[in-house]
Amino acid sequence: MKHSGCAVNRERHFSCEDCNGNVSGGFDASTSQIVLCQNNIRNQAHMNRVVTHELIHAFDHCRAHVNWFTDVRHLACSEVRAANLSGDCSLINEIFRLHFGLKQHHQTCVRDRAILSILAVRNISKEVAQKAVDEVFESCFNDHEPFGRIPHNKTYARYAHRDFQNRDRYYSNI
């Protein structure tokens, strides 16, 4: 985030609030603030995942012209990326939700959770949300910025950070 010009300040860019329903968090592009739902976040692991999810939205807001409120495809893209890269759709989390599947199930989960996330913040039909996700899925599922890979666990995250630190050497020698 800092490298992209959006250094994150805990007091300025995070807000802990009570939320309606079972929403865990959100990113408010109009105030550049991540909202964490203190009444719905269950434990540290859940907190880590929600913060990662919302930071991906913040990262997209920082690096791109995302039309959050006027283009549902843009919203869909960021939700696909957040579900894909935050750990939302890990095998363990899906098993806890009683969603059983192995072969390529991750992609099914990412689609479904992206649609749910869109419906939580936009007054549109499920069909419209689904169409938007379908249109952007190929591009957005394969956009792994800033990690360069899906960070399944700390090892992958560590390797991603190592690649980030090595980027100058990398691009000057290919």
Distance in Å, CB of 123 to another protein, minimum: 22
Residue in 127, 126, 80, 82 with CA at minimum distance from that of residue 107: 80
Residues that bind another protein (CB under 8 A): 4-7, 9, 12, 31-33, 60-67, 73-74, 77, 91, 102-107, 136, 138-140, 142-144, 148, 150, 152, 155-156, 159, 162-163, 166, 169-174
* Residue number with CB closer to another protein (55 or 77): 77
Cβ contact 41:47 at 8 Å = yes
The residue count of the chain comes to: 174
DSSP 106: H
| The two structure tokens encoding residue 140 | 């957005």
Residue 119 or residue 156: which is nearer to another protein going by CB?
156
The one catalytic residue among 11, 54, 79, 127: 54
Phi, then psi, of 26 in degrees rounded to 5: -165, 165
Question: Smaller CB distance to another protein: residue 31 or 39?
Answer: 31
For residue 43, the 8-state DSSP code is S
Question: Least distance (Å) from another protein to the CB of residue 87?
Answer: 12
Please name which of 50, 6, 70 lies closest in space to residue 32, comparing C-alpha atoms: 6
* 54 among known catalytic residues: yes
Q: Which two tokens stand for residue 145?
A: 């910025």
Minimum distance from residue 115 beta carbon to another protein (Å): 16
Q: Which residues are catalytic?
A: 54
